[in-house]
Amino acid sequence: MRTLAWFLLTGAFLTVAGLPSPSASGRQAATSATSARQSRLLAAPAGQAPSSASPASQQPPPATAGQPPSSATPAGPPPSLTTSARQEAGTIAPRIIGTMSELMVEIVYPTSDAILYIETRTPTNDVEWNELQGKALMLAEVGNLLMMPGRARDQGRWLEDAKLMRDAGAAAFRAAKNKDVAALAELNEQVYVSCTTCHQHYRSNYGRGRPVDPAR
């Protein structure tokens, strides 16, 4: 994630810096294009990828893009302010807030419980269904959180185990959106297995005496 962001940022920087012998107007055009891309990113509604095909007439003037005005800079390397701002942005990365145990107790356990007990705690109105949808979504997304750098215990089996939970949560989210109690009840096994699989592999003193698949 961080590497990707850094790549994207560095790539964007190189696009500007790598122009052959930039004339003042050429460089300004390139910088304006970058500013225009950034303002499209800012202006794009959530979830909508910025389109590079937008006509130039739709672009706001560069001054609104939060960039130093490019025309004020003499020809030469890109302004160092811009460079350091990019480097600073490159240091922003996902950060661990809760311990593994806290994630389990505060998020994974209550959200999975809502699905495991669907038949005895069936939502009775839209508000309760919305809550259940949120919990199922949370269970799926916490699967992603478990895959984060700093949380993933390795890049192989751990990711597979976390994906089991993400998949179970995603299926539960779909079923909850359909208010499908039977489908949610059928997902019980899948949810449960996703917990016990990872716990057998990674939770110390868990499931002692039960053999772990020797092939793994």
Widest CA span in the chain? 73
CB of 207 vs ligand HEC, minimal distance in Å: 12
Kindly state whether residue 199 participates in binding ligand HEC, applying the rule CB under 6 A.
yes
Segment near ligand HEC (CB under 6 A); pick from 33-41, 66-74, 87-95, 99-107:
99-107
Kindly state whether residue 165 participates in binding ligand HEC, applying the rule CB under 6 A.
yes
What is the rounded CA–CA span in Å between residue 147 and residue 192? 19
Kindly state whether residue 203 participates in binding ligand HEC, applying the rule CB under 6 A.
yes
Kindly state whether residue 191 participates in binding ligand HEC, applying the rule CB under 6 A.
yes
CB of 108 vs ligand HEC, minimal distance in Å: 5
What is the rounded CA–CA span in Å between residue 65 and residue 53? 19
- Give the contacts of 181 (CB within 8 A, at least 6 positions apart): 118, 119, 122
Per CB under 6 A, contacts with ligand HEC among 100-139 are 100-101, 104-105, 108-109, 112
In contact, 24 and 75? CB cutoff 8 Å: yes
In contact, 100 and 106? CB cutoff 8 Å: no
Residues that bind ligand HEC (CB under 6 A): 100-101, 104-105, 108-109, 112, 146, 158, 161-162, 165, 191, 194-195, 198-199, 202-203
